[in-house]
Amino acid sequence: MAGGFAKDGAVQEQIDATVEDAVNRVRSRLREGDSAHECVDCGKAIPEARRQAVPGVRLCVSCQELEDQQQTANAGYNRRGSKDSQLR
């Protein structure tokens, strides 16, 4: 059932697009290649287990946690302009 000017399935299309955007954003942040032996932010040694588990790692666990918190704080916007995002 369509409501207003929206076509049938518009809500699901918006949900799918939002999920796709989130997946693409995360994929774009994935690193490839050799891992660093030292953190590029603080200079601490990166443990061998972390370097093997995360290809292309550049940050120690502490610095990575800080970066993840900053990324999470900036990721809460729905740029598609839905009514739901405008009401929040």
pLDDT of residue 70: 86
DSSP 2: -
The stretch 5-34 carries a mean pLDDT of: 84
Task: Give the model confidence (pLDDT) of 38-75 as tens digits.
Answer: 999 999 999 999 999 888 999 999 999 998 888 766 65
pLDDT at 80: 58
For the chain, which residues make up each domain, given as ranges? Answer: 30-72
pLDDT of amino acid 75 = 56
For residue 21, name the pLDDT band (cuts at 50, 70, 90).
very high
- The residue behind tokens 């693409």 is 24
Task: Quote the pTM value.
Answer: 0.53
pLDDT at 8 over 80: no
Q: What are phi and psi of 54, to 5 degrees?
A: -120, 95
